Structures are given as structure tokens and as C-alpha cells.
Amino acid sequence: MSNLKYSLISPTFGRPEEVTEFLESLLEQDYHSFEVVLGDGTPKDALRPYLKKFINNNTYNLTIVYEEFLPVSDARNKAAAKAKGNYFIFLDSDCIIPKDYLKHIDAALAENELDLFGGPDAARSDFSDLQKAINYSMTATLTTGGIRGKKKHVANYHPRGFNMGIRREAFFAVDGYNTDFICGEDVELSIRLIAAGFKSGFIPKAHVYHKRRTTLTKFYRQVFRFGAARINLYKAHPKELKLAHFFPTLFMLFTVLSILLKFVSIALPFNLLTLYMMAVLVDSSILNKSVKVGVLSIATVFAMNFGYGFGFLKNFVWRLVLGKPTSVQL
């Protein structure tokens, strides 16, 4: 067993400003038994100049595993193969890590031996209003985000790759990430780990600040991929498709139907939708202390449900109705 406890692993591909901010946040950690390993696929090794200043820092050792156009699952697996820690913690490079993050994880593991663990994500106070609205859409009780990371759901908690810890032995016991998955690979790994008998848990205090996407269009494309990936997960693990996964598609269809009915003077469904949007406006405005973020949250809730819902529906028809062997284009 290594004397090094944690290996913080992140796949990187361009986005130098975000990667730099991610690595700088790790310089502020008040826990020091960790290393950082990047699996970088940036074309022409263009990220390297931004990484040089972190090579010889006094807080952590930085290892860079480089291969041009390295896919995300391959990047994580190759980085893990080079990692020396007893626990691998997978983080996204668009995250900022609070300085007490590892202390919270260390305290939680001292109380409860976990093989697989994760924590929530949040928006930092200096994030843009749109990023705060996107965060609300993905995490709020009034949205489908309300089913993620709540204490009553943690018996089979599936950590996500933006904030996901795995005991070293457990990771290699199931052969790491399935490289056939280009999206949803983190949930797929969680499913296999739990099925193999490894213990999963949620650490509420181990949160990260997650920037997510910076435009509505990019956010829509991201959640479209998530929706389509859910069908691919179902094909690999049929027991993992739940009623909640249909909610965004039902929301999308209900919204379209409500608008159509409005044109023929049947207003009740549309009024129900309006009430829901008002609830989102009020809830987000209060939580974020900003009416502007509340208004933007209406747009991001629509983008999330329509993106995920359409991706889910399109791949549902493609794979389950038409019987195609591979996914729709992600």
C-alpha cells in the first residue's frame, strides 16, 4: 500500500483558463497527502505551456499523461494507471475545489469505510448568473436535479465523474471505466462497482464548485448527451432505468401539448405549466438571492428538460424501437 492517500485525476482537453483555475484551487488545499494526475488529449499538446508553472509547486506532485485526442474514459484509465494513491478521486477540470475538500473526505472515510463515494456540486458566488441558473436546474428540489445526492437516495448512490472517489483496489477489480461509453461512463462504472459488492456513500460536505457550461446552447447539447446516454446505460444494465428518467421527456411533451392546446382555448395544462415556472422563478430567486438568476433559471430548466428529454426520446426510438445496435450521434 502506498504512503500517498489520494490521487486527484482529471481528464483535460483544451479550455486552459478552466484547467488553470482548477489546478490553482488545489494549491490551496489544507490537506497534503495527495497528487494530481491529468489525462490530457489536447491537440498538438497545446495545453502544456499552461501546465508548466504547476510542475514544481510545493503542494502536490503533478503528472501529465498525454496522448492527442485522448477520449475521456481512456484519459481517466491511463491517468489511473500512473496514479500512486490508495484512493482515486476523479474530478472535472471545470471544477474549483474548496480548500477543505480533502479534509472532509478524509474525515468521512475515517468514520465509514467506503469503496466508492462522491459529493455534491455547487455554484460559487462569483460564477456568472447563467452558471448559477444552470446549477439550480441541475440540483434543485423542484427539478429532476432533486433526485441526485439526497440522503434518502444514497443506499445505491452513483457518484458522477465530476466528483467521484474510488478505492484503488475497487477500481482495478472492475477494470476501470468502460471505454465503449463516450457519455454516462461515470454512472456505468458506479453501477458495476455496486454490483460487484463495493460499498458506496455520499459525503455532503465534500462539494466542488462546478462551472458546467457557459452558454444555453452548450448546456442543451450536454444534457442531450446525458439523455441519450441513459438509454445506452439501460442496454448495458436493464435494471437501472427508473421512472424518474422519463420525467424530462414527459415534461417536453407536456409543454409542447400545452402550447398547442392553448391555441384551441384549452388553457388548464398551460396554466399548470405557468404555475410551475413561477415556482421555479421564486425558488431560484430566493436560493440565489437574485431575481435575474431566477428568470434565467426558467430558461435553463426548459433547456435541461428539452435537451435531456429529446436525447432520451431520440435514442429510445433509435435503439429500443428501431433496434439499432449503436447509439444516436452524441
pLDDT tens column, 73-108 = 999 999 999 999 999 999 999 999 999 999 999 999
Q: Is the pLDDT of residue 273 over 90?
A: no
Q: Is the pLDDT of residue 268 over 70?
A: no
Nearest-angstrom CA–CA distance, 91 and 110: 21
Instruction: Report the pLDDT averaged over residues 307-316.
Output: 97
> What grid cell was written down for 95?
471544477
Question: Minimal CA–CA distance to 204: which of 250, 149, 285?
Answer: 149
Q: Is the pLDDT of residue 298 over 60?
A: yes
> How high does pLDDT run on average in the chain?
92
Within this chain, do residues 33 and 107 fall inside the same structural domain, yes or no?
Answer: yes
Q: Which is more confident, 152 or 231?
A: 231
CATH number for the domain spanning 198: value is 3.90.550.10
Residue 113: domain span? 6-119+159-214
Nearest-angstrom CA–CA distance, 39 and 75: 4
**pLDDT score for 2:** 67
**pLDDT score for 151:** 47
Within this chain, do residues 185 and 261 fall inside the same structural domain, yes or no?
Answer: no
Within this chain, do residues 77 and 10 fall inside the same structural domain, yes or no?
Answer: yes
Instruction: Report the pLDDT averaged over residues 277-298.
Output: 96
Q: Which of 214, 240, 258 is the last residue of a domain?
A: 214
Residue 144 domain-assigned (yes or no): no
Query: Considering only 87-91, 213-217, 287-291, which range has the smallest mean pLDDT?
Result: 213-217
Give the distance from CA 8 to its chain's centroid: 16
**pLDDT classification of 149: cutoffs 50, 70, 90:** very low
Instruction: Report the pLDDT averaged over residues 1-26.
Output: 93
* Per-residue pLDDT reduced to its tens digit, 26-49: 999 999 899 999 999 999 999 999
Within this chain, do residues 71 and 208 fall inside the same structural domain, yes or no?
Answer: yes
Within this chain, do residues 70 and 13 fall inside the same structural domain, yes or no?
Answer: yes
Within this chain, do residues 230 and 92 fall inside the same structural domain, yes or no?
Answer: no
Within this chain, do residues 192 and 317 fall inside the same structural domain, yes or no?
Answer: no
Within this chain, do residues 113 and 172 fall inside the same structural domain, yes or no?
Answer: yes
- DSSP-derived letter for residue 231 is H
Indicate the pTM of the whole model.
Answer: 0.91
Q: Is the pLDDT of residue 152 over 90?
A: no
Name the burial class of residue 32, with classes exposed (0-12), middle (13-18) and buried (19+) by CB atoms within 10 angstroms of its CB: exposed
Q: Cell 463515494 maps to which residue?
A: 117
Indicate the number of domains in the chain.
2
- Asked if residue 198 lies in contact with residue 246, where contact means CB atoms within 8 angstroms, the answer is no
**Could you tell me what percent of the chain has a pLDDT over 90?**
81
